[in-house]
Amino acid sequence: MTENLWLLGDIFDFWWEYKSVVPAGYVRFFAKLLEFTDNNIPVYIFSGNHDIWLKSYLAKELNVKIFHKPLKIELQNKQVYMAHGDGLGKGDYDYKFLKKIFTNKFLQWGFSKIHPNCAFKIASSWSHSRRKKEKYPSFKSLANETLYQYAKEFNKKEHCDYYVFGHRHIPMKLDIGKGSQIINTGEWLSQQTFACLQDGQMQLLQYKDGKIQEYPYPNPEENPFLSRNLKTDN
């Protein structure tokens, strides 16, 4: 069985590549990715809404492959649809408009002319202020989960066995139709959750207390952490 690593975006809180300047830091992370690729384990990275400006640096230096759009691929005889997830589905029109600004070539050219110290200070301040507001996942109901609804609608037209997303910080693994599931990997910093496809079966796992185990709350509606915080949000 071929091993490979898929990173579903927002790997960096902010990332920008100048022609001859790259962001400081990430040395240990880059070394670990290089360890994978040097051992012939492919690494694939999707850009997210925080690192939408990933270009060619990682591909050239670390031999990884970058994706900026959703990908449907066959893995272990299963049809898998993967994406970061930002901007997919109905709604979130403010962000979709903002994404058009972020991906505008002229505006990108203008931002690249700002000195790196100033540019990163601006971007990091904006990103950090956004993150401080996200004290806990804002789960309301599955009806309001755009990626869940997006996968259900997409699956009516084109069947996939698994729909795997990042973006939302809520781990979930739910049926969306006959033989189809949506898996949201959650996030690593506080939950240490990830997905693993082995022998054609996708699991939602968690690294906890030095061990890998199955994530205990695949349905966010049954997650006591989310339920507890929902009460404080009312």
Q: What is the DSSP string of 11-32?
A: -SSS----SS---S--HHHHHH
The mean pLDDT of 30-42, rounded to a whole number, is 95
Average pLDDT score over residue span 109-131: 74
Average of per-residue pLDDT across 155-177: 92
Write the burial class of residue 106 (CB in 10 Å: 0-12 exposed, 13-18 middle, 19+ buried). Answer: exposed
Tell me which residue of 99, 77, 97, 71 sits closest to 166, measured CA to CA. 71
Whole-number pLDDT of residue 40? 94
pLDDT at 228: 53
Across the chain, mean pLDDT equals 85
What distance in Å separates the CA atoms of residue 160 and residue 156, rounded to the nearest whole number?
A: 10
What average pLDDT score do residues 93-106 get? 78
- 89 vs 227, which has greater pLDDT? 89
pLDDT digits (tens, 9 = 90+) for 209-223: 899 999 999 998 888
pTM (predicted TM-score): 0.86
The mean per-residue pLDDT over the stretch 149-170 comes to: 93
